[in-house]
Amino acid sequence: WKDEYLGVNATINNTEGGAATKASDGIEFHGAWAEWPVGGQGENQLYHFANYNFTLVATVSIDGVPTEDGPIPLMGTKLNDEGKSKLMELSYEKEKKWILQCSDGRSSEKLSNSWKSKTQYQVAIVLRNGTQATVYVDGKSVGEAPCQLENKHPKEISHFFIGGDGGSTNNKRSQKGVPVTVRNVLLYNRPLSSEEINALNTKLSIPKAGQ
């Protein structure tokens, strides 16, 4: 998945029987997901800022309804411990609620906003000072949670995951039954303000990537 700003390309992965197919201006993930490297780049880390401050924005549609219980990952960050731990994650569930999880699931908040199948949303996850996460849906803040890991955990982010996380068996099974279409993924090296995120949603003003 090429970075149009000539940065670091994402890699698409899939579970057995999963697939990622081209959609209009995006990709449909069906039992598949994308990994956008941060620490996984090695010594030359263009996105090292993501360990402390970032805004990750994507236009998504969940093109089905999960049948399994529990949250299904949509986008977030994994740490450099072989992908076992997560700093933050935006997920969804069969009751059609968004869920924000932080600190490897020790902080979890079911957000007030609901989602509808086959409906396009602009979602954004924001990290401030490496400790505070906020989620925006269609330009509006819908929840926040502390994101601070215990000292025993590694601090560095390995990669962003988008469309899924390739995680547990239950998540893999659920993701296979729920196609997710992702478009217009943007990464900023700072927490965008509410006004900037709303401007992105309304397409009145788009901050230049990387600023």
Q: Is residue 149 predicted with pLDDT exceeding 90?
A: no
**Average pLDDT, stretch 140-153?**
73
- pLDDT at residue number 170: 47
Q: Is residue 124 predicted with pLDDT exceeding 60?
A: yes
Contact between 66 and 211 under an 8 Å Cβ cutoff? The reply is no
d(CA 52, CA 47): 10
> What are the CA-CA distances from residue 163 to residues 14, 72, 142, 156, 182 (Å)?
10, 10, 20, 21, 7
Query: Domains plus CATH for the chain?
Result: 11-202 (2.60.120.200)
DSSP 208: P
**Average pLDDT, stretch 88-113?**
84
Lowest mean pLDDT among 60-64, 103-107, 120-124, 131-135: 103-107
d(CA 62, CA 6): 28
Task: Count Cβ neighbours within 10 Å for each residue of 88-98 and write b for 16 or more, e otherwise.
Answer: bbbbbbeeeeb
Percentage of the chain surpassing pLDDT 70? 77
Confidence of residue 39 (pLDDT cuts 50, 70, 90): confident
204: CB partners within 8 A, 6+ apart: none
126: CB partners within 8 A, 6+ apart: 54, 55, 56, 133, 134, 135, 136, 191, 192, 197
Confidence of residue 25 (pLDDT cuts 50, 70, 90): confident
- pLDDT at residue number 77: 92
The per-residue pLDDT of the chain, averaged, comes to: 81
82-98 confidence digits (pLDDT tens) = 667 888 999 999 999 99
Q: Is residue 107 predicted with pLDDT exceeding 80?
A: no
Lowest mean pLDDT among 18-27, 36-45, 85-94, 96-105: 36-45
d(CA 202, CA 196): 10
Q: Is residue 178 predicted with pLDDT exceeding 60?
A: yes
Residue, of 128 and 45, whose pLDDT is higher:
128
